[in-house]
Amino acid sequence: MFPEYAPFDTAIRSALESLLAGMDSNQKAWLSGYLAAGGGETVSAPATTGAELTVLFGTESGNAEALADRSVKQARKRGLRARMVNMADISPVDLAKTNHLLVIVSTWGDGEPPESAAAFHKQFMTEDLTLAGVKFSVCALGDTSYEKFCQTGKEIDERLAALGGERIAPRQDCDVDFEEAFGAWLEKSLYALMPGASAVVAAVPVGTATVEYGKKHPFPAELLDVVMLNGKGSTKETLHLEFSLVGSGLSYEPGDALAVVPVNAPDVVGEILKAAKLGGDETVNIKDGGDKPLAEALREDFDITALSRNVLNKLAAAADSTKLRDLLADESKDRLKAYIDGRQIVDALHDFAPDGLPAATLSGLFRKLPPRLYSIASSPLAHPDEVHLTVSAVRYLSHGRTRKGVCSTYLADLLKSGDRVPVFVQPNKNFRLPADGDAPIIMVGPGTGIAPFRAFVEHRAAIGASGRNWLFMGDQHYLYDFLYQLEWQDHLKSGALARLDVAFSRDQPEKIYVQHRLLEHGAEVFAWLEQGAHFYVCGDAARMAGDVHEALISIAAKHGGKSRQAAEEYVGSLKSSKRYHRDVY
């Protein structure tokens, strides 16, 4: 339980492990806070040393930035002079000036660096540097459901070592449930920098602690209202949901996301139990949650759908399947990728464990059920003590089975007004309105990508910003899928929205998308950019975001009289000057 560097002898270590084994998660949390406060006594902070620490982060959704902030605070409590730096704001050559370096970086999409860290990553992986004398450690954030899990962190870790850096603690690869792994990495890294130093916090009087809602303690928000945004005849199911934040202490800004903690649908739980040949009343142990019936754990605690190499590796060991081991041994990975594509864990159980699995073995296949992030669709000024979401219910057929999105159908099928949903706010500082209220903005958001732009327009109207707002939105059909149509029309009448251009792809023989509308109005788009406009994109990363990016380059080339290379550099300058923002998924 305790790492080898913990300052306890064998007897004390054994006694502590025995004591903690009998505690539940609430008792451990209380004891942790009590001991950190010196058992009710104030502990003075250590004197700051000359040691300097740079905590470098690259973030997509804000997790890496939040962990970097926590790292800096912990380092300062131990006497280090620590600062946090965004990869977007530093050059690789500056790393040679650091004494100690901790890197926290996420991986996005198919092994790509975060949007804000892409330029740094490209330069760092190719530039000739000497980092001899730099002590470092890397914490990589990722998602095991992707083939290139933690790829960016792995690349940076290897590159730091190749350039002469001294690795003071092994790289930590974190899945979506990263709290425990991150905590262990940070402790190990800080201990390596300052052996013997202990964390210091202010005293907290016993019995006065209150719950601070956030990721560790999601707020049970009441669902106030649910509205279907699509008309009859639509093939889509897009919901507008309104939640109360009264009593939560949570706050947000336009551009932030709301994390929703879902549960798995009863029919999906039933399919897993049937495939494993179990009844559901078997008892399993949940980390930090004690013992509970298997069916309840499958519903509340585990990700029972996302199929990945990591899950298949565990299943191969559990089911002793030659067929599965052969699939995993394929060096090209093409067969494995083809198998995983469109399938879920239930398929693998049928294919490779036809005789079923014991309850404990089954539960060992799964990771913790992660929260889902949704772009917030409201301004706190327009809707005090509320937060709104725009969610499309995901349902599809794949490999002969009906599939559905875990969280989107939880919201669509299992909830009604008055129910409470665990939520917390996930800040996104890379997707903010310009500080200058006079600056024009161009927003591109097809489908549910419209969500943050509803918040943007509401917010700018509420604060009386004079900057012009231009919205490009798209969906399938004008009659059925014009999301928030009446609101946009009201904003046009009031002047809060200067322009609205729409692209309904299925209303004519040829499909028209938002990138086509951008190109049609390319001259005016370029003129707005030359006048200082900020450019925002929200929605699908697989195709739309890339198509919009290409359209932007084409616009700069055609209407700016630039070569392809110069146009790419122009668009790159929009990014570096923080006028090109993307929230894609």
What is the secondary structure of 94-107 as a DSSP string? GGGG-SEEEEEEE-
In the chain, what is the straight-line distance between the N-terminal and C-terminal CA atoms, in Å? Answer: 37
Residues 204-253: tens digit of each pLDDT: 344 444 568 998 899 999 999 999 999 999 999 999 999 999 999 999 99
Do residues 255 and 332 share a domain?
no
Buried b or exposed e, range 350-383, using 16+ CB within 10 angstroms: ebbbeeebebebbbebbbbbbbbbbbbbbbbebb
Residue 501: CATH number of its domain: 3.40.50.80
Residue 288 pLDDT:
75
Q: Is 492 helix (H, G, I), strand (E, B) or coil?
A: helix
Question: Does the pLDDT value for residue 50 go beyond 80?
Answer: no
Residues 585 and 265: their CA atoms lie apart, in Å, by: 23
Average pLDDT over residues 62-73: 92
**What does the pLDDT read at residue 177?**
85
- The whole-number pLDDT of residue 11 equals 59
Q: Is residue 383 located within the same domain as residue 531? A: no
Cα–Cα distance for residue pair 501/491, rounded to 1 Å? 13
Q: Are 220 and 336 in contact (CB under 8 A)?
A: no
Percent of the chain exceeding pLDDT 90 equals: 76
Work out the percent of the chain whose per-residue pLDDT is above 70: 88
d(CA 109, CA 114): 9
CATH code for position 406: 2.40.30.10
The answer to whether residue 213 is domain-embedded is no
Instruction: Examine residue 27 and state whether it is found in any structural domain, yes or no.
Output: no
**Claim to verify: residue 416 and residue 270 sit in the same structural domain:** no
Residue 152 has phi, psi (to 5 degrees) of -65, -45
Annotate 335-391 with three-state secondary structure. HHHHHHCCCEHHHHHHHHCCCCCCHHHHHCCCCECCCEEEEECCCCCCCCCEEEEEE
Residues whose CB falls within 8 Å of the CB of residue 449, separated by 6 or more in sequence, listed in order: 375, 537, 538, 539, 540, 544
398 and 333 in a common domain: no
Cα gap 188→182, rounded to integer Å = 10
Domain that holds residue 322: 266-363
Per the confidence metrics, is the pTM higher than 0.85? Answer: no
As given in the structure block, the two tokens for residue 12 are 């004390």
Q: What is the CATH number of the domain that holds 51?
A: 3.40.50.360
Over residues 40-66, the mean pLDDT reads 71
Tens of pLDDT, residue by residue over 324-378, are 999 999 877 889 999 999 999 999 999 999 999 999 999 999 999 999 999 999 9
- Whether residue 393 sits in one domain with residue 247: yes
Is residue 17, in this structure, part of any structural domain at all?
no
Q: At residue 565, does pLDDT exceed 60?
A: yes
- Report pLDDT for 193: 84
Answer with the residue of higher pLDDT: 334 or 491.
491
Domains contained in the chain, number: 4
Of residues 157 and 542, the one with the higher pLDDT is 157
Instruction: Verify that 115 and 256 share a domain, yes or no.
Output: no
Average pLDDT over residues 414-437: 95
Radius of gyration of the chain (CA): 26
Same domain membership, residue 418 and residue 516:
no
Domain assignment present for 60 = yes
User: Residues 492-525: pLDDT tens digits?
Assistant: 999 999 999 999 999 999 999 999 999 999 999 9
The per-residue pLDDT of the chain, averaged, comes to: 89
281 and 315 co-located in one domain? yes
Write down the pLDDT at residue 204.
Answer: 36
Structural tokens at position 134: 């730099």
d(CA 327, CA 333): 8
H-helix or E-strand spanning residue 230: none
β strands within 15-117, DSSP E: 52-58, 81-86, 100-106
* C-alpha torsion 263→269→271→276, nearest 10: 130
Residue 159 falls inside a structural domain: yes
In a domain, 209, yes or no: no
Assess whether 421 and 449 both reside in one domain: no
Give, in order, the Cα–Cα distances in Å from 109 to each of 113, 146, 183, 208: 8, 8, 25, 43
Distances (CA, A) of 241 to 162, 221, 477: 50, 12, 22
Is residue 197 scored above 60 in pLDDT? no
Q: Domain for residue 202, yes or no?
A: no
- Name the token pair of 514: 């938002």
Q: Are residues 404 and 462 in the same domain?
A: no
Please tell me the distance from the alpha carbon of residue 383 to that of residue 503, in angstroms, as a whole number. Answer: 29
- 45 secondary structure, DSSP code: P
Domain end marker among 398, 426, 454? 426
Q: Is residue 562 part of a domain?
A: yes
Q: How far apart are CA 526 and CA 533, in angstroms?
A: 9
Mean pLDDT, rounded, for 292-310: 96
Domain check: are 159 and 53 in the same one?
Answer: yes
In this structure, the answer to whether residues 92 and 54 fall within a common structural domain is yes
C-alpha to C-alpha distance for 50 and 542, rounded to whole angstroms: 47
Residue 112 DSSP label: B
